[in-house]
């Protein structure tokens, strides 16, 4: 069965449309997200004090890295912490 030029053209247009959608999604995600957060950003995001954040570090609740005497946290680790808290709240209400 021969494939017509119109079919090839439609397939190409569909693939370009899919590529454009994926690229747009990736660009919006990368511009909104950064990999590392400092302590102030984490406190604000989690609605906690600096002392609570220190307790999280001391008790290994959140992983961190230090650079130049400052603490930095991976955004993915913070998201995991938020997800665990949300799951705990859901189970408490059930």
Is residue 74 domain-shared with residue 51, that is, in the same domain?
yes
Q: Which domain holds residue 12?
A: 1-33
Is residue 29 domain-shared with residue 44, that is, in the same domain?
no
- Asked if pLDDT for residue 10 goes beyond 70, the answer is yes
Q: Write the pLDDT tens digit of every residue in 18-65.
A: 877 777 766 655 554 578 889 999 999 888 999 999 999 999 999 999
Is residue 44 domain-shared with residue 5, that is, in the same domain?
no
- Domain count along the chain: 2
Is residue 88 domain-shared with residue 48, that is, in the same domain?
yes
Is residue 22 domain-shared with residue 67, that is, in the same domain?
no
Q: State pTM to two decimals.
A: 0.57
Rg (CA), the chain: 22
Is residue 68 domain-shared with residue 81, that is, in the same domain?
yes
How do strand 65-67 and strand 36-38 relate by DSSP bridges? unpaired
Is residue 19 domain-shared with residue 54, that is, in the same domain?
no
Q: Kindly give, in sequence order, each residue whose CB lies less than 8 Å from that of residue 75, ignoring residues fewer than 6 positions away.
A: 33, 34, 35, 36, 37
pLDDT value at position 21? 79
């Amino acid at each position: 069965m021969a494939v017509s030029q119109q079919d090839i053209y439609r397939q190409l247009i569909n693939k370009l449309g899919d590529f454009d959608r994926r690229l747009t999604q990736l660009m919006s995600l990368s511009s909104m997200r950064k990999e590392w957060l400092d302590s102030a950003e984490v406190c604000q995001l989690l609605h906690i004090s600096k002392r609570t954040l220190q307790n999280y570090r001391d008790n290994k609740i959140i992983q961190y890295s230090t650079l130049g005497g400052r603490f930095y946290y991976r955004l993915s680790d913070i998201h995991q912490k938020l997800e665990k808290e949300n799951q705990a709240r859901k189970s408490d209400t059930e």
